[in-house]
Chain A
């Protein structure tokens, strides 16, 4: 994930990640991997709900989590692309994100 962020940063794109994990979980599991972009904790699912992404019972150990999704947001705060998936194995790559953004210009 970090090398993907480097790729985006070079293209002038900031990566921000959000999950329903607590800050403690993210700190323990992600920071040791050398991640430099913000990993935001949304245990109350407020942002996840604001984007309509709640997956009720999505956590096999109980509880709700976020559907995977990537939103590309321009300098004015408009959503220029929603990269949604119906299969959580399949996620967009940095190349796809860069291409979508450059298509906007």
Chain B
């Protein structure tokens, strides 16, 4: 318990920060970790538990000055956890529902668009081939 008393106030937020940021930088590169986000959710929850355990360990014995650091650390850890849970379970669902127009499509509508290499590419030029046409949100 000595260890958490001393270090939880900064280890908690650090681990929480790592758990939050690494979802976007690392986990999104692996299908399972991206889709379920389970690894990062566990990390940020662990950070909250760690920070909280430090706070509980010294709650009765420490002065307010000693507590304040741990209260801040717990607050920061909880913040990272809340942000990740919010992103995973709410924000990433913030889209309008699939349109009736999309659902009604049978033939693939043709288009001609400029590619990043400067060519103009039309869908009809892929006739005779199988195509996976991927619309993505982009990089804003």
Q: What residues make up the interface of A, taking CB atoms closer than 8 Å to B? A: 8, 12-21, 23, 25-27, 29-31, 35, 38-42, 46-48, 50-53, 55-56, 58-61, 65-79, 82, 84, 86-90, 93, 97, 101
Q: How many residues of B contact A (CB 8 A)?
A: 49
B residues less than 8 Å from A101 (CB atoms)? 130
Chain A residues lying within 8 Å of B135, measured Cβ to Cβ, are 17-19, 48, 51, 53, 66-71
Count of A-B residue pairs with CB < 8 Å: 190
* Cβ B139 vs Cβ A25 within 8 A: yes
Report how far A67 CA is from B121 CA in the complex, Å. 21
Interface residue from A48, A56, A93 paired with B96 (Cβ < 8 Å): A56
**Contact of B99 with A by CB under 8 A:** yes
Find the B residue at minimum CB distance from A49: B101
**What is the CA–CA distance of A29 and B88 in the complex, to the nearest angstrom?**
25
Contacts from B to A (Cβ < 8 Å):
28, 31, 34-35, 37, 88, 92-93, 95-103, 105-111, 113-119, 121, 123-124, 126-140
Expressed in whole angstroms, the minimum distance between the Cβ of A74 and any Cβ of chain B is 6
By beta carbon, the residue of chain A nearest B102 is A52
Inter-chain contact A47/B111, CB cutoff 8 Å:
yes
Known: A18-B136, A29-B139. A39 touches B116 (CB 8 A): yes
Instruction: Please give the distance in Å from A85's CB to the nearest CB on chain B.
Output: 8
Is the beta-carbon distance between B136 and A19 smaller than 8 angstroms? Answer: yes
Which listed residue (A41, A69, A77, A86) contacts B114, Cβ 8 A? A41
Bound-complex Cα distance A78 to B92 (A):
30
Contact of B130 among A14, A52, A59, A67 (CB under 8 A): A14
**How far, in Å, is B38 (CB) from chain A's closest CB?**
12
Point out which of A27, A46, A53 has the most chain B C-beta atoms below 10 A from its C-beta.
Answer: A53
Instruction: State whether A58 touches B113 (Cβ < 8 A).
Output: no
